């Protein structure tokens, strides 16, 4: 019985301290491959704070370069060094990607800074070195580095 009471107390405590944020952003991604190009695009995300510093959520993005479009979707986890949605953060986003029917897994390493504009609005600047690994037979991988600026809204 004590274990159940402790679990309920912890669950209620996490729920009361949790923050939800929805956001949109736009950015640029530069391929590091020979002959690779630059893509521009944007993303939308939903994130939830878990405890004081950990944030998890879902990210959906659309990128385009030289008439070729890529759609990405997947989870995202960030650790904020000061507190959730405040200050410097680092994280990872393993995203499923589809480009002209070709499937890949893209892994973004997020390094950024989030600043509160007011009590409900956030500004985030993030750099994300990344690698996309093809899921197709004989496919390779592509490396890049990108940057994104986004606006978030606390729910």
Domain 19-154, CATH class in plain words: mainly beta
Give the model's confidence band at 18: pLDDT under 50 very low, under 70 low, under 90 confident, else very high: low
Using CB atoms within 10 A of its CB, is residue 128 exposed (0-12), middle (13-18) or buried (19+)?
buried
Q: What is the pLDDT of residues 24-39, one digit of tens each?
A: 999 999 999 888 889 9
DSSP character at residue 152? E
Q: Are 100 and 68 in contact (CB under 8 A)?
A: yes
Give the model's confidence band at 23: pLDDT under 50 very low, under 70 low, under 90 confident, else very high: very high
Q: CA distances (Å), 107 to each of 17, 91, 93, 128, in order?
A: 29, 11, 6, 9
Give CA–CA dist 65/122, Å, rounded: 28
Mean pLDDT of 58-78: 94
Q: What is the pLDDT of residues 126-136, one digit of tens each?
A: 999 999 999 98
Mean pLDDT of 51-66: 94
Whole-model pTM: value is 0.84
Q: What is the pLDDT of residue 12?
A: 41
């Amino acid at each position: 019985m004590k274990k159940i009471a402790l679990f309920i107390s912890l669950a209620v405590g996490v729920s009361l301290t949790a923050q939800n944020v929805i956001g949109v952003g736009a950015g640029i991604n530069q391929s590091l491959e020979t002959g690779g190009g630059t893509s521009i695009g944007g993303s939308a995300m939903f994130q939830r704070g878990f405890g004081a510093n950990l944030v998890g959520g879902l990210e959906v993005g659309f990128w385009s370069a030289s008439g070729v479009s890529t759609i990405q979707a997947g989870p995202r986890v960030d650790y904020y060094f000061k507190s959730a949605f405040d200050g410097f953060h680092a994280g990872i986003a393993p995203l499923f990607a589809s480009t002209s029917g070709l499937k890949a897994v893209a892994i973004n390493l997020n390094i950024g800074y989030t600043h509160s504009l007011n009590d409900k609005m956030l500004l985030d600047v993030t750099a994300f070195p990344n690698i996309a690994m093809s899921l197709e037979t004989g496919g390779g991988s592509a490396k890049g580095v990108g940057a994104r600026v986004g606006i978030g809204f606390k729910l």
